Amino acid sequence: MTWLSIIIAGIITYFTRMTMVALVDRDLLGERIKAVLAYVPSAVFPAIIFPGIFINDYGTFIEMNDPKIFGAIVAILVGYFSKNVIATILSGLFSYWIIIFLL
Amino acid sequence: MFTKKQLLIKGLLSVAPHMFSVIPFGIVCGAIGIKLGFSPILVYAMSIIIFGGASQIVFLQLLSGGASAVIAITSVGVINSRHLLYGAVLSEYLEKLSFIKKLLISYLVVDQGFAESNKFFQKNKNEPNLHYHLLGSGGTLWIFWQLSTLSGIIVGSFVPEELGLKFAVPLTFIAIVVHDLKKLDHVIVMITCGLSSLLFFDAPFKSYIIISPIIALFVAALVLRLKK
């Protein structure tokens, strides 16, 4: 039963990837929609970022002094000025660890 | 003009830095599956059949918590529905491919690969064979996702939970969008999405993950109209 569920979930997931690439003719999308689509990264990724910072494993809001907030601020600053993905990720992780393990 | 091989390598290199997030998250993902009591083969098979980190974890958590299969499957579909938006963006660059190639490359459309290849596509619109970049980025992410979930299944119990490795996930996406923080229109769209995701976090089936982008895209349309 679990296997069947995984296969169905996999097929659905594949359709989410394939539908717009293979089945929908791009000419159906108007110019205005195409212009809006340029915002997709900015419109999608914060929905992964914000809950990943502000909501804990139990689905509740974190305290305002949570080390994840500090880690995220460090990562944003480092990322903005360095333009380096590795530096962004590692600075965020290390500053988070420094707070939870050393302080 | 780039050769196919150059594009493939550029795609690979563009996502390579994200491995600092993908690998820890893959390990966590494999480890959680085992901790929840599922068989190693089943946990690993999800990485091939579903190939979507967050949705794999949610699926197993729901089932182990006693939710019905319908609820677990629906949640996976809702969480992964954001790929529809990625596909809509990428279709512009992939429209010349044959139908079969479109069907095949679609399997490799994932968050970081989409983000990095899309950045490259915007700057190199007129290149032929652009799909090789997506093949390089998506293929690299696929391989490392397989290896890291597998490692998580094998050694996951030795990775201390206190490390909070899941925190690498928001960090990798911060690295992707941080550059657009200097554009006011993008900042407005990002904040709209982020606040909506917190507001709708308890909406059923994890639907905040698609509700908030839709709200943010409406705001983007408004911003575009105001800019004119």
pLDDT confidence tier of residue B13, bands split at 50, 70 and 90: very high
CB contact under 8 A, A54 and B198: yes
Q: What is the pLDDT of residues B164-183, one digit of tens each?
A: 999 999 999 999 999 999 99
pLDDT confidence tier of residue B213, bands split at 50, 70 and 90: very high
Interface residue of A40, A44, A66 to substitute, partner B, most B CBs within 10 Å? A44
Q: What is the pLDDT of residues B95-151, one digit of tens each?
A: 999 999 999 999 999 999 999 999 999 999 999 999 999 999 999 999 999 999 999
CB contact under 8 A, A41 and B90: no
Q: What are phi and psi of B194, to 5 degrees?
A: -60, -45
More reliable by pLDDT, B12 or A64: B12
A-B CB pairs within 8 A amount to 265
CB contact under 8 A, B177 and A43: no
* pLDDT reading at A102 higher than 80: yes
In whole angstroms, give the CA distance from residue B193 to residue B215: 7
* pLDDT reading at A96 higher than 90: yes
Q: For chain A, what percent of residues have pLDDT higher than 70?
A: 100
Q: Which residues pair with A55 in a beta bridge?
A: A61
Global confidence as pTM: 0.95
Q: Which residues of A touch B51 (CB under 8 A)?
A: 10, 13
pLDDT of A58 = 86
